[in-house]
Chains A and B, each alone.
Chain A
Amino acid sequence: MLTIADSTDADLARAVAARGPGSAEAAESELYRRFAPRVRLYGLRHLRDEDAARDLVQQVMLVTIEKLRGGSVRDVDQIASFVLGVSRSMAKDLKRLERRREKLLEAFTVPDIVEAPMGDTTLDVGRLETCLARLAERERMVVLLTFYAERTSGEVGKELGVKDGNVRVIRHRAIERLRTCMTSGEVVQ
């Protein structure tokens, strides 16, 4: 017998769509469990802010479940595409709101207080510090410019005097080294 965990995304969407509000709780929960992390990642990449990404998850999942319950998702077999579409549209709205908020902040306040976001709880940051220190200078600069300063390979290349294709190679190699170091404690030379 198939369980909720064995069901495909489309099975779950169909289960929610076929039954009335509140009668497919397990399917709704599983849909949420699967899609919330994907929407969060989408939000993090496009909005570059953990709080905004969290807001996006809430809004997107609410709309998705409501639309499924109301039978207004045209093709439940393509539920992933539907969630992506809602994410795109809502992220655009959030970006617009953020731009307006930034303009207001620039006009009325002194923007010098930046609250440090919470660190990732699942990662051993102490270990990562050691691994980062073991990278070559060029690799460390590339990963920090990418992940902290949020620069593209073209921008990093311009800054370091390296072609953007080379930046991508250096970045890929650096991430592999960090991963190896994080999991095995070794640095690939």
Chain B
Amino acid sequence: MMPRCQAPISDGTLLDYWAHDLADGDETGHVEEHLFACGDCSARLHRLAALGTGLATLVRQGRVSGIVSRTLLNRMQRDGLHIRMYSLVPGETVPCAVFPGDDLIVTALRADFSAVEAVTLSVTGPGDSPFSQLDNVPVSRPDGEVLWATSAAVVRQMSSMRLQLTLASAGATRTELGRYVLEHSASTPPS
């Protein structure tokens, strides 16, 4: 058996190295020297890299739900994902559906985010039943939008229904920023 590593690189440093957050030059160089000489740390980096590859695979397969940023959305489109977008301003009702070939459904909710840093998105279904609640979502002020993504595979399972979405500022003083309605039509009408 090879000797165990006597001075393992910390998880944080391995993560920073993989994410290109170490300074080029000495800092990166020392980590690489160690990784090439150490099977243990190299194996730990391999596990981290596999996790990263798995995350990227999920995105490429449209298997992510929740809030996404414009950068993520652009990258997904560049990678060839079929993304259906619905854009709503406060008070608007929009009919929506998922179509064959769609990978991801993204709802862009526009509002005035000038006074907030994070928001809560509450989604309710028929009879005000809770559908989804996304807390403490960071907002991009220049874009003025929150992008809510749902896997098309999930939406395909949904029956026709009205979804009410409410954006409010996160934190103690909860100020409503907008209400929106999605009129969802099921992919296949019930027989």
Contacts and interface: CB of A to CB of B under 8 A. Distances in A.
Chain A: number of interface residues, binned into ranges:
35 or more
Q: Is the interface of B mostly helix, strand, loop or mixed?
A: helix
Q: Is the interface of A mostly helix, strand, loop or mixed?
A: helix
B15 A172 contact: yes
A125 B50 contact: no
B172 to A, nearest CB: 18
B72 A145 contact: yes
B67 A141 contact: yes
Contacts of B51: 123, 128, 147, 175, 178-179, 182
B185 interface: no
A80 B37 contact: yes
Contacts of B45: 41
Nearest to A123: B54
In the A-B complex, the 9 residue pairs with the smallest Cβ-Cβ separation, listed nearest first, are A80-B37, A147-B52, A119-B57, A80-B36, A84-B36, A123-B54, A147-B55, A160-B138, A120-B53
29 contacts: A5-B2, A6-B1, A38-B35, A41-B46, A41-B49, A83-B36, A84-B33, A87-B36, A114-B78, A116-B57, A116-B80, A119-B57, A120-B54, A122-B50, A129-B58, A137-B137, A140-B66, A140-B67, A141-B138, A145-B72, A146-B52, A147-B52, A147-B53, A148-B75, A149-B71, A168-B15, A168-B21, A172-B12, A175-B51
